[in-house]
Amino acid sequence: MVIFLDVLILENFIVNTFLIILTADTLKIKIKKLNTVISAMVGALYVITMLFESLYLLNSLPIKIIIAFIMILISFQKKDILFNIKGTAIFILYSMLLAGLCVFTEFNKNGGALDRGIILNFSYKKLMIAIMIIYIVLSRLIIFVKDRKALNNYIYGVEIVLDGSVKKIKAFLDTGNELVEPVTNLPVIIVEEDLFSKEDIKNYKYYYIPYSVINGQYGRMAAIKPEKIMVYKDDVGEEKEALIAFCNNKLSQVGDYQGLLSRGIL
């Protein structure tokens, strides 16, 4: 029998990814894509030990459970030992159910063969893997759509009226942002600086807003007070009094918004 190692690893990688995502969905836990890939690859590489008689000790049940436990640790990055045990148990249960389904399907066709726990000549393999890929893609797509929908609930239209120009942007309501100007106690809207030209703001008095972030970084942001600010949600606008502070960085990597609203603005 000829085994293509790259195909074997790829197939097991897809199966492991499917099982990890299924486990995460069962536990209702979000996992990072990189963690999923690393964990699935660990499991995919482990299958190589089943091909060599000299590595038979690594195919014992305790080692298999340990590998499953390591995969869960990598996937979820949780320190809670009970959670990891629960996750491992669910992962192993789904693995057993999937393996049982494959064996049942193949042997009912009377065409399969089994060698050291590996199904040979499995004609339904491509179908099963295709189903897994579809599930993986659809589950990620559904999560993406839900995240986008949730994000849109926090995005507002903002109209900034300056001396001689009007800027319309989208701003994200950052509920953890309580930035205010210390003297006037006005809330601060953070906006990407490159939206404004020097001509737009050259006649304005500058305020300097002290800020600090969770990682310990601190500094001051330049800000101005425009003639008027309108905040829109669902086509309903309300005039607000606030300062506009400028930042050098892109606030959204995909361009969903160009500003951050402080909680006090609403």
Pair 44, 59: CB distance under 8 Å = no
d(CA 17, CA 39): 8
Give me the residue label for tokens 């990189």. 34
Question: Which residues are known to be catalytic?
Answer: 174
User: DSSP states of 34-61 as a string?
Assistant: HHHHHHHHHHHHHGGGGG-GGGGGGGSH
DSSP state of 203: T
d(CA 41, CA 112): 27
Q: How many CB atoms lie within 10 A of CB 264?
A: 15
- CB under 8 Å to 223, separation ≥6 — which residues? 181, 188, 206, 207, 208, 209, 243, 244, 245, 246
Pair 204, 161: CB distance under 8 Å = no
d(CA 152, CA 55): 53
**Residue 221 CA neighbour count, 13 Å, CB half:** 25
Q: How many CB atoms lie within 10 A of CB 225?
A: 16
